[in-house]
Amino acid sequence: MLIRNETAVDIRAISGLVTEAMQMLAQSIGTEAGIVEALRADGALALSLVAEEDGEVIGYLAVSPARVGKQGGWALIGPLVVLPSRHRQGIGKGLMAEALRRLRATSRGAALVGDPAYYGRFGFRAFPGLGVTGCPPEVVQALPFDGTEPRGELIHHPAFGLNQQG
């Protein structure tokens, strides 16, 4: 398996993969591929990683700039998706490890909204006072790289439709 930056040739495969993988989640709203496309169009993909095997895109991870309260320099991870037939093969783990390795050099920390049981294995956890309006507090998680405890609203790019970056 090769983990690398996306190329223009990957864009159609990424959209299909994001749609297929997210359909399996109860919380999916069906617009996740559109979120990635909007981030890309706005130049807001800080990282756009694919996992490739035998020329096929089998996993994808997006990172966009975020803010926690008034504190900039955070990286928002999501979506992270793996081809459903390839779950539990270390693909998501490999994508996350590469993203965190790269982000440690450029970001104050990483944040996401997701399953605590899954993301906890990478060091993500909920913090008192960290939140996203309308989300259960336990799914709003962060991994500070500099020891700073994140406090405030996790502000996503407007493409997510949750709140406004600004």
- Quote the pTM value: 0.90
**Residue 35 above 70 pLDDT?**
yes
Q: Is 21 left (phi over 0), alpha (psi -120 to 50) or beta?
A: alpha
**Residue 101 above 70 pLDDT?**
yes
CATH code of residue 17: 3.40.630.30
Q: Give the structural domain span for 106.
A: 2-160
First to last CA, the chain: 38
CA dist 65 → 20, 46, 71, 135 (Å): 25, 7, 11, 19
* Residue 158 pLDDT level (bands cut at 50, 70, 90): confident
**Domain for residue 45, yes or no?**
yes
**Domain for residue 154, yes or no?**
yes
Domains in the chain, number:
1
**Domain for residue 165, yes or no?**
no
